[in-house]
């Protein structure tokens, strides 16, 4: 019989072991887990579970045989962070990985806002808007379109922190190995995209003429081919990117072109000449699917611009996560210890305008005023309320959980700091 995570209803440690901030979050989390209704993972009895208690290190190699067992454990232990394995195991609770007997794994794509360019200058709300756009692109442009998964196979989840997860559940992918999964990461992140393969060189021999003494000279023309509109994947993406580049070069000031496409180091006169040329021939280029109307140097300019554009069309997935066939990932329905927000499964339609500061706040967190001391001045729009925050102030309980979890604030007022909280 497998060892399970069943635990008696008792405090896992003395709450006084925690600092004031952790004690405050612990009490809120315990209230949440009292009424917790587990959103059980697929084939949940074959999953490994792991938990990080407040003030403790991770406890893992656990298994549960029923939702009731999991609920009992969560209320008893009140974890700050809860995880389950993307893998399915024959014996998930065995402590040695080689003894678990791996059976397969979900395919996971993880997008986290800390990978965004300029994330350190964004507010939490700004990060979540941008990472939502990235997730929409991943799902629509890659998972649904290029890779051919349908909505029933793609399960989207707000991570509770700063990002989203896409869980792919399909018999076709469960037994994929690390290398195959890494190839999928390379595909969606534009790793190794070869422009010479997308826009291959083609040579035409235009004719031959006699030059005397029995010698014949051939006329040769070399140019790049353009993927047709019937292509898919990166070829179609690059065709559409080339259309936009041609339009920009034809219409924009050459100085602006050099700013948009940093790899284009041609002089202004060269760009002006290309601009005039594209206004005449770009329509013909895409009708014939070739760059034959352009000189070699003009074609090179477009390829340089394409190399600048390609990474912007990729998805900023967390590259180590997807190939890891034994990964632990956030447990749906659990709370995130650094935000107080719920790890929430959502549909693709819900993702379109999903705002975790409105939708992932636990219902049991109240609007009762809580004293906090801000670490810096800021404003927060949460639960349809705009809150200006500075110094020692009072905020709704649900906002206090987020602010304390994110370390934007400390529980209580510095001027009234005391050892006991309640």
Catalytic residues: 110, 112, 318
**For 235-365, where are the E strands, in sequence order?**
328-330, 344-346
Which of 87, 133, 89, 135 is closest to 109 using CA atoms?
135
Please state, in angstroms and rounded to a whole number, the distance separating the CA atoms of residues 339 and 373. 17
Distance of CA 372 to the CA centre of its chain: 32
DSSP state of 41: P
Contact 360, 344 (CB under 8 A): yes
Q: With contact defined as beta carbons under 8 Å apart, do 60 and 93 qualify?
A: no
Pairing of strands 154-158, 344-346: antiparallel
Of the CA atoms within 13 Å of residue 315, those in its CB half-sphere come to: 30
For β-strands 154-158 and 163-168, DSSP reports them as antiparallel
Find out whether 167 and 155 touch, Cβ atoms under 8 Å.
yes
Residues with Cβ within 8 Å of residue 296, at least 6 apart in sequence:
222, 223
In angstroms, the Cα distances linking 318 to 120, 161, 326 are 17, 14, 15
CA distance 274 to 182: 39
Q: In the beta sheet, which residues pair with residue 202?
A: 223
- Residues 70/13, Cβ–Cβ less than 8 Å: no
Distance CA 242, CA 228 (A): 12
CA-wise closest residue to 338 among 396, 387, 278, 407: 407
Distance CA 194, CA 219 (A): 29
């Amino acid at each position: 019989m497998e060892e399970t995570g069943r635990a008696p209803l008792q405090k896992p440690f003395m709450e006084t072991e925690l600092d004031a901030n952790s004690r405050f979050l612990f009490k809120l989390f315990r209230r949440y887990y009292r009424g917790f209704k587990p959103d059980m993972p697929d084939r949940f009895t074959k999953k490994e579970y792991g938990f990080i208690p407040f003030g403790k290190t991770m406890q893992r190699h656990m298994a549960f045989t029923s939702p009731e067992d999991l609920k009992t454990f969560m209320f008893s232990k009140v974890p700050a962070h809860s995880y389950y394995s993307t893998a399915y195991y024959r014996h998930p609770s065995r402590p040695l990985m080689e003894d678990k007997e791996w059976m397969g794994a979900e395919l996971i794509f993880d997008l986290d806002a800390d990978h965004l360019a300029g994330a350190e200058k964004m507010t939490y709300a700004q990060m979540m808007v941008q990472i939502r756009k990235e997730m929409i692109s991943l799902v629509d442009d890659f998972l649904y379109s290029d890779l051919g998964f349908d909505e029933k196979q793609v399960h989207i989840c707000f991570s509770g922190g700063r990002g989203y997860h896409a869980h792919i559940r399909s018999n076709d992918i469960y037994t994929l190995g690390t290398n195959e999964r890494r190839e999928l990461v390379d595909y969606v992140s534009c790793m190794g995209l070869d422009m010479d393969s997308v826009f291959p060189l083609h040579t035409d021999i235009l004719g031959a003429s006699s030059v005397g003494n029995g010698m014949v000279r051939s006329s040769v023309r070399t140019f790049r081919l353009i993927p047709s509109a019937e292509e898919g994947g990166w070829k179609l993406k690059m065709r559409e990117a080339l259309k936009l580049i041609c339009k920009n070069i034809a219409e924009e000031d050459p100085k602006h072109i050099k700013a948009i496409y940093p790899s284009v180091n041609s002089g202004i006169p060269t760009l002006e000449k290309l601009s005039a040329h594209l206004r005449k021939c770009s329509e013909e280029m895409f009708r014939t699917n070739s760059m034959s109307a352009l000189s070699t140097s003009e074609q090179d300019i477009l390829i340089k611009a394409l190399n600048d554009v390609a990474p912007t069309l990729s998805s900023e997935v967390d590259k180590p996560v997807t190939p890891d066939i034994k990964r632990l990932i956030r447990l749906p329905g659990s709370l995130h210890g650094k935000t107080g927000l719920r790890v929430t499964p959502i549909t693709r339609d819900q993702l379109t305008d999903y705002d975790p500061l409105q939708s992932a706040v636990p219902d049991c967190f109240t609007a009762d005023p809580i004293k906090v001391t801000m670490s810096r001045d800021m404003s927060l729009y949460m639960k349809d309320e705009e809150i200006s925050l500075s110094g020692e102030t009072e905020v709704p309980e649900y906002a206090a959980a987020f602010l304390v979890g994110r370390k934007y604030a400390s529980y209580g007022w510095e001027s009234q700091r005391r050892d006991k909280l309640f």
